Chains A and B, each alone.
Chain A
Amino acid sequence: MIDMWKFTLRRILIMIPQIILLSILIFILAKMMPGDALTGMIDPNVSPERLEELREKLGWNDPWHIQYADWVGGLVQGDFGQSFRFKMPVTELIGERIVNSFWLSVATLIFTYLIAIPLGILSGRYNDSLLDQTITGYTYLGFATPLFIFALVMLWVFGFMLGWFPTSGSVSPGSEPGTFAYVMSKINHLILPAIAMALIATVNTVQYLRSEIIDTKQKDFILTARAKGASESRVYNRHILRNSLLPIAAFFGYEITFLIGGTIFVETIYNYPGMGLLFFESITLRDYSVVTAVVLLFGVAAILGALLSDIILSLVDPRIRIK
């Protein structure tokens, strides 16, 4: 247990420079972006001299480390600047979108595990059967299919051709927030993008689970349990699954990195107003204060996700603590 705390502490200590480096990198990117916060806010009739004065006043001519410190200071207080496009604080803008992305991610994760666990178990338990071959065929295709193509095809087939699901937005226009219909409409808008992402995301987990189960099946303690007369389902439920499912839970954090990449594609394709679409829109509109904020938030989310997974994994498999 002490080992466990030591590992966690060391892992957190590694994370701090990562977050600092990330913020520096994003700060540099933000500085490289053409124009600054004033470009969008100011009346074009204002004279260049006046603009220069304003810049001076806002500290834009200070040395970079002072600007960086100011910027970080703002971030810590939740000040991400102004969106020149939407004329509102970035924080407010993100607040709306982040909720949508959160629900999309939750739905994706639920579908991922809902698909992956049964498929992985069946495939591993009855390996080399026809069922296993079908599942393996699916993972084979899923590995090679880029998410955006798959999402497009799903939208085409289920959204346009069959008309089963809405093709854009996160809720039907005109629904009253708080009503049952509103919630149902929200869910209805989530399903297709979430399933599209889950069907691709699940491939790794299915394969992992399959090979893990096939490996465990051959282990001595399983053979012993069988020899002692334990029924097949008991062997699976009590021994094999307990060994194989824990690592899967641990991969949860790493999935966040995939979700981040995925949301950009899926939200763009399904026109779903979340963080990914916000990122896409604001970079197209050159609304750079929003871009900076979104990249920073996603970066921190990925770092925290990896931290979470590393810690869970170290609980599950003590070997990785000895590094």
Chain B
Amino acid sequence: MAFLEVEDLKVHFPIKGGIFGRTVGHVKAVDGVSFSLEKGKTYGLVGESGSGKTTTGRAIIGLNKITSGKVMFDGRDITGMKSKSDVRKDIQMIFQDPYSSLNAKKRVIDIVAEPLRNFEKLSKKEERIRVQELMELVGLSPESILKYPHEFSGGQRQRIGIARAIALKPKLIIADEPVSALDVSVQAQVLNFMQDIQEELDLTYLFIGHDLGVIKHMCDNIGIMYKGRYVEEGTTEEIFTNPQHIYTKRLVAAIPDIDPKKRQEQTQFRQEVKAEYEQSYNDYFDDEGLAYQLQPVSDTHLVALPEKG
């Protein structure tokens, strides 16, 4: 049994309308997503805005209501988990925006200690020591615990967010685009730091992102989402060297190459992929423009294709 197992997850949001505000339809943000994640690994969830990747992450941790499907964590069903269960301690989240995810009116010590206060009864002094340790762990000065978030840079703030997330020694961290709001120069720092603490604290990551470069750097397995469904899933190797779905191909082709000599070549390659994408769009997507059911290509590699025959 896998560490985290998501089975046929659906998250639908009602659309209200009419005179009495009845539900007239649904937005299918996540529409039948299944995947599993091994302990100590990093799983990347990739897609463009509106693909449902963030909603998937939020549904797992309980921020979005699950319409149907099942989430198993460490052998337990956590589909409708209550806010103060033990599982909550074990799953934490790192948010995309380091500005709005830290309460501007709170000092760092109150921000980082919030989970400790909810789950562990510590004395003021013990709490202070724990917070200072955490600050040190994320590479920030333990003296700055009385400062306000606005006195830190974006990268530092994201580290505070990480300190808060690891305060309860969780087993799984859902990282929702943790670096996309940061300067490129700081991104690598934070990512490497995340990898360091992964080893140190034996963490499992569900890494949500749209930047394939970052995903390639971080992840062992990758799932590609489009309009609430999976289009392809495989190891990082498989996705990047042998993409099967036309959508994945296009994403991979769009990764910028740093070598200026290859620029021309790459532009041409992109044109070709684009042409192929447009030509064979109907072979890969159904009438509504949604992806088909996943079909196995190999043991680890799955692609959404119409059923043969």
A–B touch (CB < 8 A): the answer is yes
| Interface class of chain B by DSSP | loop
Chain A 14-43, CB within 8 Å of chain B: the 1/0 string? Answer: 000000000000000000000000000000
Q: Which residue of B lies closest to A10 (CB)?
A: B19
Q: Which residue of B lies closest to A5 (CB)?
A: B19
Residues in chain B near residue A114, CB distance under 8 A = none
Residues in chain A near residue B20, CB distance under 8 A = 10
Interchain residue pairs with CB less than 8 A apart (6): A6-B18, A6-B19, A9-B19, A10-B19, A10-B20, A13-B19
Q: Which residue of A lies closest to B17 (CB)?
A: A6
Residues in chain B near residue A9, CB distance under 8 A = 19
Chain B 17-30, CB within 8 Å of chain A: the 1/0 string? Answer: 01110000000000
Q: Could you tell me which residues of chain B, from 1 to 55, have a CB within 8 Å of some CB in chain A? A: 18-20
Which B residues form the contact surface with A (CB < 8 A)? 18-20
Minimum distance in angstroms from A60 CB to a CB of chain B: 40
User: Complex Cα distance A13/B21, Å?
Assistant: 13
Q: Which residue of B lies closest to A9 (CB)?
A: B19
User: Complex Cα distance A307/B18, Å?
Assistant: 19
Residues in chain B near residue A10, CB distance under 8 A = 19-20
Interface size on A, residues (CB 8 A): 4
Residues in chain B near residue A6, CB distance under 8 A = 18-19
Q: Which residue of A lies closest to B21 (CB)?
A: A10
Residues in chain A near residue B19, CB distance under 8 A = 6, 9-10, 13
User: Complex Cα distance A310/B19, Å?
Assistant: 16
User: Complex Cα distance A6/B24, Å?
Assistant: 15
Minimum distance in angstroms from B15 CB to a CB of chain A: 12
User: Complex Cα distance A6/B19, Å?
Assistant: 6
Residues in chain B near residue A13, CB distance under 8 A = 19
Residues in chain A near residue B18, CB distance under 8 A = 6
User: Complex Cα distance A13/B20, Å?
Assistant: 9
User: Complex Cα distance A13/B19, Å?
Assistant: 9
Minimum distance in angstroms from B17 CB to a CB of chain A: 9
Q: Which residue of B lies closest to A7 (CB)?
A: B19
Closest 6 pairs (CB-CB, A-B): A10-B19, A6-B19, A9-B19, A13-B19, A6-B18, A10-B20
Minimum distance in angstroms from A11 CB to a CB of chain B: 10
User: Complex Cα distance A88/B16, Å?
Assistant: 53
Minimum distance in angstroms from B277 CB to a CB of chain A: 36
Q: Which residue of B lies closest to A6 (CB)?
A: B19
User: Complex Cα distance A75/B19, Å?
Assistant: 30
User: Complex Cα distance A10/B16, Å?
Assistant: 14
Minimum distance in angstroms from A82 CB to a CB of chain B: 42
User: Complex Cα distance A10/B18, Å?
Assistant: 9
Q: Which residue of B lies closest to A13 (CB)?
A: B19
User: Complex Cα distance A175/B20, Å?
Assistant: 56
Minimum distance in angstroms from A310 CB to a CB of chain B: 15
Minimum distance in angstroms from A67 CB to a CB of chain B: 33
Minimum distance in angstroms from B88 CB to a CB of chain A: 35
Q: Which residue of A lies closest to B18 (CB)?
A: A6
Minimum distance in angstroms from B221 CB to a CB of chain A: 42
Minimum distance in angstroms from A235 CB to a CB of chain B: 40
User: Complex Cα distance A9/B19, Å?
Assistant: 7
User: Complex Cα distance A206/B231, Å?
Assistant: 59
User: Complex Cα distance A9/B20, Å?
Assistant: 10
Minimum distance in angstroms from A314 CB to a CB of chain B: 14
Minimum distance in angstroms from A177 CB to a CB of chain B: 49
Minimum distance in angstroms from B270 CB to a CB of chain A: 37
User: Complex Cα distance A6/B21, Å?
Assistant: 11
Chain A 166-210, CB within 8 Å of chain B: the 1/0 string? Answer: 000000000000000000000000000000000000000000000
User: Complex Cα distance A263/B87, Å?
Assistant: 63
Q: Which residue of A lies closest to B19 (CB)?
A: A10
User: Complex Cα distance A6/B20, Å?
Assistant: 10
User: Complex Cα distance A198/B20, Å?
Assistant: 39
User: Complex Cα distance A6/B22, Å?
Assistant: 13
Minimum distance in angstroms from A311 CB to a CB of chain B: 15
Minimum distance in angstroms from A132 CB to a CB of chain B: 36
Minimum distance in angstroms from A91 CB to a CB of chain B: 36
User: Complex Cα distance A132/B18, Å?
Assistant: 46
User: Complex Cα distance A57/B75, Å?
Assistant: 75
User: Complex Cα distance A39/B19, Å?
Assistant: 48
Minimum distance in angstroms from B252 CB to a CB of chain A: 40
Minimum distance in angstroms from B18 CB to a CB of chain A: 8
Minimum distance in angstroms from B241 CB to a CB of chain A: 48
Q: Which residue of B lies closest to A323 (CB)?
A: B21
Minimum distance in angstroms from B38 CB to a CB of chain A: 46
User: Complex Cα distance A98/B73, Å?
Assistant: 72
User: Complex Cα distance A9/B18, Å?
Assistant: 11
